[in-house]
């Protein structure tokens, strides 16, 4: 598992010309990879083979390897898919804390789990059939009955559909 994070750090430091030799000898790379593992509560599992990790830890490792690049913005496509409800909240809490610590400005994510969307978002852009249905805070969307009817699964088109609603 350590190697996954080391490769990301090597890439960020532009030291990928002798990839595997660099992984073994570069203390800076190992230290930075270990630091990222600590942020994602994975440091005790660094010696494990990635495919042997539990599903929730695999998700964390996937995201941790992207965070090891120290991006300003990170795009995630359903980062909690395939994990239990309890693991989803753990993954999101770790992800948000790590983003703050590393200094990531924004996390843009596609997510269909409304508990995750409303529980961890500062701003939500709700889409329906490829169009922006609403754009606002979680609270403002929850207060809009037409948007909530469509977002939580009821069919139909709210009044004014096709024009984004400012919430």
Specify whether the CB–CB gap between 85 and 97 falls below 8 A: no
Is the pTM here over 0.85, yes or no? Answer: no
- On whether both 105 and 140 belong to a single domain, the answer is no
- On whether both 75 and 142 belong to a single domain, the answer is no
- On whether both 157 and 130 belong to a single domain, the answer is yes
Q: Structurally, how many domains does the chain consist of?
A: 2
- On whether both 87 and 142 belong to a single domain, the answer is no
Domain containing 47 — which CATH number?
3.40.50.300
In order, the DSSP letters of 85-151 are HHHHHHHHHHHHHHHHHHT--EEEEE---HHHHHHH-S-EEEEETTEEEEEE-HHHHHT-HHHHHHH
Specify whether the CB–CB gap between 83 and 59 falls below 8 A: yes
pLDDT digits 0-9 by tens, 86-123 = 889 988 999 999 999 989 999 999 998 888 999 999 99
Specify whether the CB–CB gap between 63 and 40 falls below 8 A: yes
72-76 mean pLDDT: 93
122-141 mean pLDDT: 91
24-37 mean pLDDT: 84
125-138 mean pLDDT: 90
pLDDT digits 0-9 by tens, 82-92 = 888 888 998 89
Buried b (16+ CB within 10 A) or exposed e, 67-106: bbeebeebebeebbeebeeebbbbbbebbeebbeebebee
pLDDT digits 0-9 by tens, 138-160 = 999 989 888 888 877 644 444 44
Residue 22 sits in which domain range?
2-121
């Amino acid at each position: 598992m350590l190697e996954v994070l080391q490769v990301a750090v090597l890439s960020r430091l532009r030291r990928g010309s002798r990839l595997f030799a660099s992984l073994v000898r570069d203390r800076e790379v190992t230290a930075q990879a270990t630091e990222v593992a600590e942020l994602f509560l994975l440091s005790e599992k660094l010696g494990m083979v990635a495919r042997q990790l539990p599903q929730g830890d695999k998700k964390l490792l996937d995201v941790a390897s992207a965070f090891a690049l120290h991006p300003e913005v990170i795009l995630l496509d359903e980062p909690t898919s395939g994990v239990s409800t309890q693991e989803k909240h753990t993954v999101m809490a770790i992800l948000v804390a790590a983003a703050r610590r590393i200094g990531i400005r924004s996390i843009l994510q596609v997510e269909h789990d409304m508990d995750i969307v409303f529980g961890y978002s500062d701003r939500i852009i709700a889409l329906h059939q490829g169009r922006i249905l609403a754009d606002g805070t979680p609270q403002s969307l929850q207060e809009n009955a037409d948007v909530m009817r469509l977002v939580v699964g009821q069919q139909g088109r709210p009044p004014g559909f096709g024009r984004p609603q400012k919430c």
